[in-house]
Amino acid sequence: MPVSAPAFPVTRVSRSRLDAVDFNHLPFGEVWSDHMFSARCSHGKWAEAEILPYGPIRILPSSKALQYSVALFEGFKAHRTPPGDLAVFRPDRNYERMNRTAARLAMPTVPESMFHEALGELLRLDEAWTPGPEQGSLYIRPSYFGTGASLAVDSGTEFQFLLMTCPVGLYFQPGKRLSLTTTRKYVRAFKGGTGAFKPAGNYGSTLVASAEARTAGWDNVIWLDGYEGRWVEECGVMNMFFVIGGVAVTPPLEGTILPGVTRESALVLLDDLGIPCEERRVSVGELVAAADAGTLQEAFGCGTAATIAPVGKLGLEGREIELPPTGDDSVAHRLRSELLGIQTGTIEDRHGWLVTL
């Protein structure tokens, strides 16, 4: 990352809020670091790049973001490594995905040099907001939306890009396993839709499904395909893996599944660990049959926030399927240790995934 003087003005907070933060109790995404980066794009030209105190932004009520969901986001993490450095995990993958989503929403590309310079500068400024490796990590949230104020049904010519960070705790609680159920009532994504991208609207439109699942006593939903309603796609806002007869299986990216960076990394690490792995379609019927045959060993979700989230109970075809207990030798546990080890610098970064500050 560049270490020269930033190419944009920096306005620092007069007094940091850091002292008031309890790093051992960090509710996800509620505590935001002192500063944020902001830039605007008007008629294809980027300007007004600056770092300023994190706080409210001005946006007109008639903006495209608020009226038509011309808005997207990304999420990735930085960890504190043993030498005390800050290591960002695969920011290039999120940068690329962000621009794929931008193109899908008819928004202009965010310039690569601006993204990386802004990220480096913001992280250097708020580095002290990073929890220790035993406490958690620094979550990085890019946000990009249309600020054009007209009801014309297009993405407009005015946009704002923000980068902000927040310290987050360890999602993983030992022994905690998720319960997930399929839903017949809601579908997350169709081919040709936005399922493979990260527009803000993808989250807004699925929240009711998660809420209803919680009311029924489950942690979240398993998303099935919208045509036959039998192929597993994702769970909540995570990609999904199963371990069936010693083989790790995850559904292939066929246009309705979000290409997770955690999923992509997990596939590489499974290979490294010598765990057989397949990208192929998995049906609810196959899972039920495997559970009955005793070969359904594990299920887990994966995503940046949770890393690897083991599942303890599945709701499939009206049945409640308890998965066998998993120990330190489980695929989920080994994968999580490997991923976290690389992210926190205790295992060699053999794939060149870390960008160190």
Ligand X SMILES: *Cc1c(COP(=O)(O)O)cnc(C)c1O
Q: Do 277 and 265 contact (CB within 8 A), yes or no?
A: no
Q: Is 291 in the site for ligand X (CB under 6 A)?
A: no
Q: Which of residues 251-290 bind ligand X (CB under 6 A)?
A: 258, 260-263
Kindly state the smallest distance separating residue 15's Cβ from ligand X, in Å.
33
Kindly state the smallest distance separating residue 83's Cβ from ligand X, in Å.
26
Q: With respect to ligand X, which residue has the nearer C-beta, 71 or 291? A: 71
Query: Of the candidates 234, 243, 310, 355, which one interacts with ligand X according to CB under 6 A?
Result: 234
Kindly state the smallest distance separating residue 168's Cβ from ligand X, in Å.
13
Instruction: For residue 316, list its beta bridge partners.
Output: 319
Q: With respect to ligand X, which residue has the nearer C-beta, 75 or 111? A: 75
Q: Is 239 in the site for ligand X (CB under 6 A)?
A: yes
Q: Which of residues 195-214 bind ligand X (CB under 6 A)?
A: 198
Stretch that binds ligand X, among 7-15, 126-134, 152-160, 234-242 (CB under 6 A): 234-242
Which residue in 149, 128, 130 sits closest to 140, CA to CA? 130
Q: With respect to ligand X, which residue has the nearer C-beta, 38 or 304? A: 304
Residue 332 burial class via C-beta count within 10 angstroms: exposed 0-12, middle 13-18, buried 19 and up? buried
Query: Of the candidates 110, 238, 282, 314, which one interacts with ligand X according to CB under 6 A?
Result: 238
Q: Which of residues 81-140 bind ligand X (CB under 6 A)?
A: none
Residues that bind ligand X (CB under 6 A): 75, 198, 234, 237-239, 258, 260-263, 303-304
